[in-house]
Structure 1
């Protein structure tokens, strides 16, 4: 498969429904994501520290419900769990649109966090039930590009529309975010109502396995550690470490920082499908090594930009960092969720995806804390060094992972896997 038309024609009907509305679904989230803390602080008048603490409720709640959510997905199916999460999201966004008291905002953000915690494992389980093999890897990559497109467009529209002196503009975008959730809800209640993610009931069905049993598998343990580090040095820095370094050390304008995020989105959208064609049939662990080197190069570029603060060269370096980093993202996003789902079975797919989501969330929570500690102490050179070493650590973990997963889960074509011994690929086989 070499083109978009070939990829689209290879998808089952359910896969087309899932993919065709992704950008629309994420448009609402893009409208509110960059402006929520501005809304809490500048529009509702909450203290900045309190606003930051309120924002953290999304990630904290998401992490808390991810584990139970994965178990519920395996027991009742992804559809029911996703619909519950969407209902919480609609209620949370609607409540936040009119929140004039911190307690009301806290309840709203907790509800949003519930959806945040169950949507990732639920959606990935749904995708895995619809597509498989190399097509699944390509699906995850294309979906990632469309998510970025929707959030990017939403952010641009929101930036032009909202006005801190007009609270009704913020009320409007949160209500649009709530309304956008009706799109996936309609899909789950309509065209996707027959998609089943949980295993068929059977007296001979193997035990699904607890989280402890799943994490005892070396392949899952190494993959989860790799995911955590990738998130810690990657997405964990996008909302805190990178903007702080760009402003305090590189001394670029906020306009350059905003443009850098636009570059990130553009590179992902433009390159993702080309990257998918190039990595198809290749070992996913080798792709991770390339990604690790690309990300290490991006952090070195940012570190170099900090040596010439407040200059045109620095601005170019900051933009280049985001472009190169985005290229690394196009290598990471198709591979990691594909490995998790190829290792899982229908009896524990929800839990595998919950582990993936939890590793992501912990990395996204601890990354900004580390960035704040290092950059707050003026240790900008050490900060860059930690990021580069972390990237190389991803490569080392990828090498260790390659020796512990079956070739089929590593993206190797069937002709090559037939000549190699097969490793255990699900909890009940270990």
Structure 2
């Protein structure tokens, strides 16, 4: 069994690295790519991509049903193939209509991917192995994204035709990831392959699962917090704090390198404790980071400001280390097996909606009151931390405890807690 699990982990992580490398080549260049090949203004390109992303949200509930009906691996591979096919058409796009026609299937695949990959992990590993695999995934994906960015930069440095190298490279990455993950048979953790059933009325079951809906709603303010690094922080640093543009790159490097290097060792420690406590602590550290960024607005430029920015970024990274992998494992285990796809599809909306709205909401708040934006984000994260702790008693004990309590082995089963502890 150990050899089998080791082989599964190796193929899974290799697939994640290939996936992340391809994504890292394209994601930072997406706006520039279509601006280059179509000649459209960047603002119009942004509107088209945002519109496709919002429409793509409709695939989320559909993906949940399909995962429960056909299994996570089938849908996961489908998301890769769909996006790879669209990327292969990118070089032939020369106007706004054609652009929308190719970015929409990518948006559909992007939105369907998270519940599929989370369900897939839940099917192939269990217990602390799930936490460890998710931690390793976050670490290696950050490294893969960095490598992909470097490859894209090298391709574009040679010639403008490097844009086409970028999109074809991303397509090849998706195809390779699909091939690697397709060799892993799902159902090794909790049920044999081929026993997947589709439960009718699945979304009604999700609606009646109040603890799970609570986790979903509480994740929304935290998800908005995750978006500050790419949306709000660069503007805040350069416009409100008059920091040099180069500082933005260093701050991003602190975060990505920190996750890549520290996620695995941090998660090895966290699996000894309740997942809810780690998730709540991560949200609380986010709140502390956002409060620090708010205070920096009153700090004069100089060494104190730079030190404060890096301290706040380090706290943000620590919050991500505590929250990220443990939250994924908590939610995957809290979702009932029969309707896991639909449960995780609903949970994914707590990420997809903030991702779609963050550019508009955060920039509007920045324009209105930068300090208020940070304090609002801090209050949201603190509220999420408190809420998760209050939910702990109602969540399945198998979700709360990576390692079942020794004195109560019966609590390893998935289901509502019958114990007020």
TM-score (norm 1): 0.88
Aligned to 1:175: 168
1:233 corresponds, among 222, 225, 229, to 225
Distance 1:273 1:96, change over 3 A: same
1:56 corresponds, among 31, 50, 54, to 50
1:296 corresponds, among 287, 306, 317, to 287
Ranges in structure 1 where 5+ consecutive residues have no aligned partner: 1-7
Instruction: Verify: 1:32 aligned to 2:26, yes or no.
Output: yes
Per-residue deviation at 1:310?
A: 4.9
Distance 1:176 1:416, change over 3 A: same
Aligned to 1:401: 391
Distance 1:78 1:420, change over 3 A: closer
- What is the number of equivalent residue pairs in this alignment? 414
Instruction: Verify: 1:331 aligned to 2:325, yes or no.
Output: no
Using the alignment, how far apart are the partners of 1:195 and 1:167 within structure 2?
46
Q: Is the 8 Å Cα contact of residues 21 and 183 (structure 1) preserved in structure 2?
A: yes
Distance 1:186 1:412, change over 3 A: closer
Aligned to 2:419: none
Map 1:308-319 to 2 at 5 A.
Answer: 308=299, 310-319=301-310
Superposed CA RMSD in Å reads 2.7
Q: Is the 8 Å Cα contact of residues 27 and 154 (structure 1) preserved in structure 2?
A: yes
Using the alignment, how far apart are the partners of 1:160 and 1:20 within structure 2?
23
Distance 1:128 1:356, change over 3 A: same
Distance 1:272 1:287, change over 3 A: same
Cα displacement string for residues 222-245 of structure 1 (whole angstroms, at most 9, x for unaligned residues): 11012222102223x233222221
Per-residue deviation at 1:12?
A: 4.3
Per-residue deviation at 1:134?
A: 1.2
SS in 2 for 1:167: coil
TM-score (norm 2): 0.90
Q: Is the 8 Å Cα contact of residues 70 and 354 (structure 1) preserved in structure 2?
A: yes
Instruction: Verify: 1:267 aligned to 2:258, yes or no.
Output: yes
Instruction: Verify: 1:286 aligned to 2:277, yes or no.
Output: yes
Cα displacement string for residues 61-97 of structure 1 (whole angstroms, at most 9, x for unaligned residues): 4422111011101101122212221121112222223
Using the alignment, how far apart are the partners of 2:113 and 2:209 within structure 1?
25
Q: Is the 8 Å Cα contact of residues 208 and 347 (structure 1) preserved in structure 2?
A: no
Map 1:247-262 to 2 at 5 A.
Answer: 247-262=238-253
Aligned to 1:218: 210
Aligned to 1:343: 334
Aligned to 1:355: 346
Aligned to 1:115: 109
1:81 corresponds, among 65, 75, 79, to 75
Using the alignment, how far apart are the partners of 1:262 and 1:156 within structure 2?
13
Distance 1:195 1:212, change over 3 A: closer
Per-residue deviation at 1:266?
A: 0.6
